[in-house]
Amino acid sequence: MQTIVEIQQGPIQGFTDDGIHKFFGIPYAAPPVGALRWRPPQPIPHWTQLRQTTEFGPICPQTAGAVFKTRASRQDEDCLYLNVWTATVDPQAKQPVMVWIHGGGYLGGGGCEDGTDGSALAALGVTVVSFNYRLGAFGYLAHPDLGSNFGLQDQIAALHWVQQNITQFGGDPDRVTVFGQSAGAHSVRTLLSSPSAAGRFHRAILQSGGGERFSFDAKKPSERTYAASKAFVAHLGGGGPQQLRQVPTEKVKQASHLFSGVIPKRGRVHTPANLAWMPVNDGEIVPADAGNRPLAAVPLLLGYTHNEARYFIKPGMLPYNRLLLWALTRALAGPEARAVRAELSRNAGSMYDKFDRAYTSAVFAEPLLATTERLLSTSHEFYCYRFDRVSPGAGRSDFRAQHTAELRYLFGTLTTEGYDDVDRQVSARMQAHWVAFARNGAPTEDGSWPRYDDLARIAVIADTLGQGRIDDDPIAPLVHARRATAR
């Protein structure tokens, strides 16, 4: 069945499937091509003819990073499109709105991945929005003559579109939740510090990313991105803005990958800290002192998965031996490396388990721990979780609760293979918590999931929802102690 909605830019026609109205490929900004490459997103021209929005728009050119299968027909610099799922198009419905920011290391992915389809969440009474934004050097080149933070500005433009139009999709523009995972969570963290995003959302969820800076990263904020940008421009001939905007898309894409930081140095293990293309503290979109400023005063839900590392360092991918563990712990814990290795030796498990514990703790748990301290100091209202559920398929593969493991549970897109009835129960409960947070600013109405406080209470999402502690993993406090000493 067809569904027609009038938005500010003109009339659009989506379709209805199993009670959910779906609108795919709605442009939210002008195509950033030609003279608009490496410029802030521009308003989309109005149209008067009925526009079909039944197919996903193109995604930004990319070489890697997508978590799930993307359903876009092609890649193109003309990529600024969004999608809406809703059970009602009644402007009086005033449903909470959930705006998904996809991950992918700022290098890949899109708002059209099959694992993050919004249908199941929409069936629970929320209006769901996802969108594409510029990636890699297309979105995060930082150049004195061109500017920076283009992908972040795309995200802000998408939130502006939501404020303008979401009422027509049954949504409440005064009850918008931004939620994202990995680079999407890092994006949410940056939006919480951006004056340009102020007032455009009212709650925020950060999944597996978006904590404080890594304690082991000695580089100055934004230094890696500026260095990659300089090398990128030199690689493309070192021309001015006009010449750079004429470089073919494919050459930009390949150079973007070359300087992305995804290829680790010899003898090193790749971590998200190596990535080059990401928002910078430009003093305009992101304040120069953003790392020291209080976050926007909105309710927060933040957490990570128990085995994040297994997405990056996969079972059997490397020779997980003592020599490599020595190198890894030295890179992640610096002067605390010996203490970390001693703690690891006291815990049962394989050598691979020790890699997982050290990597997950330093890259995900410890930055989150530092964030909780920041938030407690400002009396911020927030909740924390750790996702521990291991599906039968993840148990067999030894990926366990790896980075991204929670996404199919959250979006209700569990496949028939690898998951069982317990997984479906966990999925339903997780969706209910996220929707409750979008509706009321708290993941439960009965208080069974307490706010995070000085007791460091955290909800553990496993077979049942229980209470644990954010510092269950002994490595996180060790790395955190080094952060405290360095201040």
* Token pair for 380: 């911020």
**How far is residue 389's CA from residue 422's CA, in Å, rounded to a whole number?**
10
* Token pair for 358: 């050290």
Report which secondary-structure segment, H or E, holds 176.
strand 171-181
Among candidate residues 399, 362, 381, 319, the one with its CA nearest the CA of residue 473: 362
**How far is residue 246's CA from residue 250's CA, in Å, rounded to a whole number?**
11
Residue with tokens 């909605």: 5
**How far is residue 51's CA from residue 72's CA, in Å, rounded to a whole number?**
18
**How far is residue 354's CA from residue 378's CA, in Å, rounded to a whole number?**
35
Please, which residues have CB within 8 angstroms of residue 185's CB and are 6 or more apart in sequence?
101, 103, 205, 206, 207, 208, 209, 210, 302
Please, which residues have CB within 8 angstroms of residue 54's CB and are 6 or more apart in sequence?
13, 14, 15, 22, 23, 24, 25
Active site residues: 182, 308, 403
* Token pair for 66: 């997508």
**How far is residue 400's CA from residue 419's CA, in Å, rounded to a whole number?**
12
* Token pair for 447: 């208080």
| DSSP single-letter state for residue 405 | T
Torsion of CA 335, 358, 279, 225, to 10 degrees: 60
Query: Please, are residues 303 and 207 in contact by the beta-carbon 8 Å criterion?
Result: yes
Give the rounded distance of the alpha carbon of 126 from its chain centre.
20
**How far is residue 270's CA from residue 282's CA, in Å, rounded to a whole number?**
26
